[in-house]
Amino acid sequence: MFPKNSASRFLVLLCLWTTLLAIVASHLHIAKNKSVDSNTIASETSGDYGYVGHTVASRAENPKEREVVKLVLAIMSEGTKSEHWVLIIDSIFLHALISADVDQNHLSVQEGEEEWDPALFYPTPREIPLGTASFKDEEEKWDVIDNMLYKKDTLKLAVPTTKHAQDSHVILQLPEPISKKGGNCMDYILLMLEYFEQHGYTSVDVMNKFRVEFKARYHDAAKSIFGVELQP
C-alpha cells in the first residue's frame, strides 16, 4: 500500500510520462510521413526541380553533339588567268575544273574530296573564313558531301553525253558552259552554299560573307580566266 500523498504523486508522474511519450511518437510519425511524401513527389512529379535537375545532369554527361565544321573560301592565283576558287569544308576542299575526260567547255565536279594544304600551292591562296556548317553527326556530313559530288539532282548538275564519259565513269558537270554565268568555279561554290543554306546546314551569315567576295571578284575573274564579260 502507498501512502495517499505518495499515490497521488505517482499518478501525476505517470500521466505526465504517458503524455510525453504520445507527443514524441506523434512528431516522429509526422516527420516520417513528410520524408516519404517529399521523396514520392521528387520521383513521380515530372515538373519537380529534383526530377528535372537529374534529367539535365544526365544529358550533360552524355550530350549528343552536332558535327560543326568550318567553311572557308580559298582563292588561288587571284588576279591572274589561273585564278581558281575552292570551298574548304573542315579539312577537305571541293571545286569544279576542266577535265580532259569529258566536254571541256563545261567544268567538271572534281571526283572525291581532297585534303586541304595551302603549302602545296604557290602563291599561297587567300583564305576567307565564311563561318560554320552544322550537321546532325559526322555521317550526315559525309552523306551531304557525297551527294554534292555524285548525285546530279542535289545541285542540278549535268551528266556528260560524250561516248568516252559513258564508257568510263560518270563525271558530273555544271549545266552551263564556262562562257556563261553559272558555268565557272565561282558558280559551283555558290551552288554548294545555297544548298547548305536551303537545308539548314548554315546560317544566312555564311552566304552574306561569300557574296561580298563573289560580287567583288566575279566580273574581273570571269574576264581574266575565260575572256567573257559576266556580272555577278
> What's the domain count of the chain?
2
Has residue 108 been placed in a domain?
yes
Q: What is the pLDDT of residue 58?
A: 34
Q: What is the pLDDT of residue 112?
A: 67
> 220 in helix, strand or coil?
helix
Q: What is the pLDDT of residue 38?
A: 34
83 dihedral zone (left: phi>0; alpha: psi -120 to 50; beta): beta
Q: What is the pLDDT of residue 103?
A: 83
Residue bearing cell 511524401:
37
Which of 17, 38, 61 finishes a domain?
Answer: 61
Domain around 73: 67-226
Statement: residue 104 has pLDDT above 80: yes
pLDDT, tens digit (0-9, with 9 covering 90-100), for 189-212: 999 999 999 999 999 999 999 999
pLDDT, tens digit (0-9, with 9 covering 90-100), for 145-169: 999 999 999 999 998 876 454 544 5
Most confident of 27-36, 124-133, 172-181: 124-133
Has residue 232 been placed in a domain?
no
Provide the Cα torsion 64, 191, 97, 181; round to 10°. Answer: -170
Return the amino acid letter for 96: A
